[in-house]
Chain A
Amino acid sequence: MKPVSPETDDELLIRIQGGDEQAFMSLYQRRQAPLYRFALHMCGSVSVAEDVTQEVFLVLLREGCGYDPGRGTLSGYLFGVARKLVLRQVERTRGDIALESESDENTVAQLAVTDDPLIDLTRREGIENLRRAVQALPRRYREVVVLCDLEEVDYADAAVALGCPIGTVRSRLHRARALLLEKLSSERSPRRTIAWNPVRCLS
Chain B
Amino acid sequence: MNCQEYWDTMPELDALSSGVHPHLNECAACAARMNRQRQLSAGLRAVSASDRRVGAPSRVEARLRAAFRASAGITPSPWRTPWAPGIVWAAAFVVLLALAVVVMRNGSPVAPRPAPSRGAELALATHSSDDSDSEYEGFIPLPNAARLSDTEDVNVVRVEVPRSAMLALGLEVSPERASELVAADVMLGPDGLARAVRFLDAEGL
Query: How far does the Cβ of A141 sit from chain B's closest Cβ, in whole Å?
Result: 13
Cβ–Cβ contact B56 & A32, under 8 A: yes
* In the complex, A180 has a CB within 8 A of chain B: yes
Q: Which residue of B lies closest to A134 (CB)?
A: B47
The reply to whether A28 and B51 form a contact with Cβ atoms under 8 Å apart is no
Contact of A121 among B40, B56, B64, B72 (CB under 8 A): B40
The A-contacting residues of B in range 19-53, CB under 8 angstroms, are: 36-37, 39-48, 50-51
A50 on the B face (CB < 8 A): yes
B54 interface residue (CB < 8 Å to A): yes
Does A105 interact with chain B (Cβ within 8 Å)? no
CB-defined interface of B91-121 with A at 8 Å, one 1/0 digit per residue?
0000000000000000000000000000000
- Residue A88 is within 8 A (CB to CB) of chain B in the complex: no
Total interface residues on A, CB under 8 Å, equals 42
Asked if A131 lies at the interface with its beta carbon under 8 angstroms from chain B, I say yes
B48 touches A21 (CB 8 A): no
In the docked arrangement, what's the CA distance between A151 and B74, Å? 35
Interface residues on chain B, number (Cβ under 8 Å): 33
Chain B 42-76 interface mask (CB, 8 Å, partner A; 1/0)? 11111110110011110111011101110110100
Nearest chain A CB to B55's CB is how many angstroms away? 4
**Residue on A nearest B72 in the bound complex, by CB:** A19
Is A61 a contact partner of B67 (Cβ separation < 8 A)?
A: yes
> A33: CB under 8 A from chain B?
yes
Contact between chains at B47 and A127 (CB < 8 Å): yes
Which residue from chain B places its CB closest to the CB of A34 in the assembled complex?
B55
A177, B67: Cβ atoms closer than 8 Å: no
Query: Are A58 and B47 also in contact (CB < 8 A) when A33-B54, A37-B54 are?
Result: no
Main secondary structure of the interface of B (DSSP, over half): helix
Closest to B54 in A: A37
A20 (CB) vs chain B CBs: closest residue: B72
Secondary structure type dominating chain A contacts: helix
A130 touches B54 (CB 8 A): no
- Interface assignment of B153: CB less than 8 Å from any CB of chain A: no
Q: Is there contact, CB below 8 Å, between B40 and A24? A: no
Q: Which residues on the B side are within 8 Å of A152 (C-beta)? A: 48
B10 touches A122 (CB 8 A): no
Quote the shortest CB–CB distance from B161 to chain A (angstroms): 37
Please indicate the chain B residues that have their CB under 8 angstroms from the CB of A174 in the complex. Answer: 10, 12-13
Chain B residues within an 8 Å CB radius of A49? 56
* Contacting pair A61 B48 (CB below 8 A): no
B56 and A130 contact, CB distance less than 8 A: no
Q: Give Cα A116 to B47, complex, Å.
A: 18
Q: A25 contacts B67, CB within 8 Å?
A: no
* Chain B residues with a Cβ under 8 A of chain A: 10, 12-13, 36-37, 39-48, 50-51, 54-57, 59-61, 63-65, 67-69, 71-72, 74
CB<8 Å pairs between A and B, sample of 17: A19-B72, A28-B61, A29-B61, A32-B56, A37-B51, A37-B54, A49-B56, A53-B56, A118-B40, A122-B43, A122-B45, A122-B46, A131-B47, A145-B44, A150-B44, A150-B48, A180-B40
6 nearest A-B pairs in the assembled complex, by CB-CB distance: A121-B43, A33-B55, A36-B56, A149-B44, A122-B46, A118-B39
Spell out A's residues near B (CB within 8 Å).
19, 21, 24-25, 28-29, 32-33, 35-37, 40, 49-50, 53-54, 57-58, 61, 118-119, 121-122, 126-127, 130-131, 134, 145, 149-152, 170-171, 173-174, 177, 180-181, 184-185
